[in-house]
């Protein structure tokens, strides 16, 4: 029996290796490292590909990467520590801590910033403040303070690095220390994260993997990010140190249990609906098994860290290329290790409301064409699309431009709304769509999940 069990584990490991290598080939990834944590203990690590293509240096598990926006999870934890110590309240206005704040910021609370529900514009698209530019804190504030808000605070969720850039300044004001000193003192040193630091593009850092960019069908060496503002995405780490963070955060060494539950609770909008982002944590999408974590991208790097509470399983991965979808890849790895984590897809059901389905299909077509129909969507869906960040790319719905078939898989109550499930068939691939359909007959939320491999 023991021999059979060993063979099963070996076969599973081989399948995981095969999956990772195939994804690296498909996404043109030079190198990648992985850690799998079960019940707070590392049960598997792996290193694939190259840390440096020019020097032909193999990747190893000690290699260090920029983890990008996973940094936001650390910043959120520090804010909650300050709350536990009575040094701030999450309902404080940001103007209490940022000198010379505009009147427009008075309604903005720290909670809004943590949840990305503030309406603050994205600073990294502003000339002079972009990720590869070097600037002083004074310049950052001078350029950000005069900007209008994208929407009234609390109306919707719209991811903006500006939120966590300001939270970093709040931490420095409250603690009287630099962000670097604070996080080193409270997190890196106590947890023994000896390979983790704040990004310094000019420093010589042992085991730092070189970053690369994929563009126009070619691969290029990346110049290191400048990251003059650090609380939103400037940590360097490796999978071994991130496993220590995972164990400490979930094990109650960083936050009290009540604070951690606040961190992983969905953000609540003014209208009572929620969004799948806590405090520096992405949460499970509609209908998926619970998960908590974050992905990160920077100039030359991608990372993903996700914890699945029902299985006490965490996946940590880092790649030296911009950009891969860290959440999608981590989810696929987790589901291959524990099939119970796969989303349960309902069976096809009779569609008794075909008129509604036609309305949904028409709304999705408009979304895919980047011309959303405001008559078919609630304000919290439309508002993020009108932000600078929302206009940066073709959007997450481009794959729905040609829906060949739309199969009804059921509905259920979702607060006062309905949660609808469909299988969408397109020429390229299939999707499972979960749609919150409001009492106003509008889309209030939408989540897509890939359903099977790409079509030949």
In this prediction, residue 2 carries a pLDDT of 40
Check: pTM over 0.75? Answer yes or no.
yes
Q: Is 378 exposed, middle or buried (0-12, 13-18, 19+ CB in 10 A)?
A: buried
With contact defined as beta carbons under 8 Å apart, do 50 and 323 qualify? no
- If you compute the radius of gyration of the chain from its CA atoms, what whole number of angstroms results? 22
Report pLDDT for 281: 97
CA–CA separation, 299 and 320 (whole Å): 9
Euclidean distance between CA atoms 382 and 385, whole angstroms: 5
Question: What is the structure's pLDDT at 9?
Answer: 47
- The pLDDT assigned to 53 comes to 97
274-275 vs 267-268, strand pairing mode? antiparallel
Q: How far apart are CA 266 and CA 249, in angstroms?
A: 18
Residue 438, phi then psi, degrees to nearest 5? -80, 170
Joined tokens for residue 445:
């939320």
Virtual torsion, Cα 390, 394, 398, 401, nearest 10 deg = 110
Rounded CA-CA distance 101/157 in Å is 22
378-436 pLDDT, tens digit per residue, is 999 999 988 988 877 556 788 888 899 999 999 999 999 999 999 999 999 999 999 99
Q: The dihedral of CA 350, 352, 356, 358: what is its sign?
A: positive
DSSP 238-294: -HHHHHHHHHHHHTTSSS-HHHHHHHTSPEEPTTS-EESB-SS-EEPPTTSPP-EEE
Q: Is-contact 155 379, C-beta < 8 A?
A: yes
| DSSP for residue 427 | S
Residue 356's contacts (CB-CB under 8 Å, 6 or more residues apart) are: 420, 437, 441
| pLDDT tens, the chain, 456 aa long | 444 333 344 556 689 999 999 999 999 999 999 999 999 999 999 999 999 999 999 999 999 999 999 999 999 999 999 999 999 999 999 999 999 999 999 999 999 999 999 999 999 999 998 877 888 899 999 999 999 999 999 999 999 999 999 999 999 999 999 999 999 999 999 999 999 999 988 889 999 999 999 988 899 999 767 678 899 999 999 999 999 999 999 999 999 999 999 999 999 999 999 999 999 999 987 878 899 999 999 989 999 999 999 999 999 999 999 988 888 889 899 999 999 998 888 999 999 999 999 999 999 998 888 888 889 999 999 999 889 888 775 567 888 888 999 999 999 999 999 999 999 999 999 999 999 999 999 999 999 988 888 887
Q: Is 339 left (phi over 0), alpha (psi -120 to 50) or beta?
A: alpha
User: What whole-number distance in Å separates Cα of residue 286 and Cα of residue 277?
Assistant: 12
What pLDDT is attached to residue 178? 97
Cα(301)–Cα(303) distance, rounded to whole angstroms?
A: 7
Q: Are residues 409 and 431 in contact, defined by beta-carbon separation less than 8 angstroms?
A: no
pLDDT digits (tens, 9 = 90+) for 234-254: 999 999 999 999 999 999 999
Distances (CA, A) of 411 to 117, 141, 347, 386: 28, 47, 12, 29
Cβ neighbourhood burial of 82 (10 Å; 0-12, 13-18, 19+): buried
């Amino acid at each position: 029996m023991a021999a059979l069990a060993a063979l099963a584990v070996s076969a599973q490991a081989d399948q995981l290796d095969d999956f990772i290598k195939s994804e690296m080939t498909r996404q043109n990834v030079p190198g990648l490292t992985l850690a799998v944590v079960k019940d707070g203990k590392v049960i598997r690590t792996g290193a694939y590909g190259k840390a440096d293509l020019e020097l032909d240096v193999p990747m190893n598990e000690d290699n260090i990467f920029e983890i990008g926006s996973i940094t936001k999870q650390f910043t959120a934890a520090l804010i909650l520590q300050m709350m536990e110590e009575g040094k701030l309240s999450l309902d404080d206005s940001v103007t209490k801590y940022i000198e010379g704040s505009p009147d427009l910021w008075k309604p903005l609370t720290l909670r809004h910033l943590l949840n990305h529900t503030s309406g603050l514009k994205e600073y990294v698209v502003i000339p002079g403040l972009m990720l590869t530019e070097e600037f002083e804190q004074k310049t950052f504030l001078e350029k950000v303070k005069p900007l209008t808000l994208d929407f009234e605070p609390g109306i919707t969720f719209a991811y903006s690095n500006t939120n966590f850039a300001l939270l970093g300044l709040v931490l420095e004001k409250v603690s009287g220390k630099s962000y670097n000193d604070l996080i080193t003192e409270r997190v890196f040193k106590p947890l023994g994260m000896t390979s983790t630091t704040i990004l310094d593009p000019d420093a010589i850092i042992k085991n730092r993997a070189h970053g690369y960019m994929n563009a126009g069908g070619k691969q290029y060496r990346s110049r290191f990010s400048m990251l003059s503002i650090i609380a939103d995405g400037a940590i360097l780490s490796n999978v071994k140190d991130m496993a220590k963070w995972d164990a400490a955060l979930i094990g109650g060494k960083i936050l009290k249990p009540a604070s951690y539950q606040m961190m992983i609770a969905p953000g609540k909008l003014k209208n009572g609906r929620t969004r799948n982002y806590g405090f520096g944590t992405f949460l499970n999408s509609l209908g998926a098994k619970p998960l908590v974590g974050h992905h990160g991208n920077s100039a030359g790097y991608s990372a993903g860290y996700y914890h699945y509470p029902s299985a006490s399983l965490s996946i940590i991965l880092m790649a030296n290329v911009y950009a891969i979808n860290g959440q999608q890849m981590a989810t696929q790895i987790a589901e291959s290790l524990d099939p119970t984590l796969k989303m349960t897809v309902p069976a096809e059901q009779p569609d008794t409301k075909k008129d509604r389905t036609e309305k949904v299909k028409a709304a999705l077509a408009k979304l895919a064409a980047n011309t959303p129909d405001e008559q078919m969507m609630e304000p919290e869906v439309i508002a993020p699309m009108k932000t600078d960040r929302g206009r940066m790319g073709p959007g997450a719905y481009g794959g729905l431009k040609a829906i060949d078939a739309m199969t009804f898989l059921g509905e259920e109550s979702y607060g006062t709304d309905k949660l609808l499930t469909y299988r969408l068939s397109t020429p390229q691939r299939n999707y499972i769509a979960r749609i919150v359909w409001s009492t106003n007959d509008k889309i209030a939320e939408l989540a897509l999940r890939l359903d099977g491999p790409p079509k030949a």
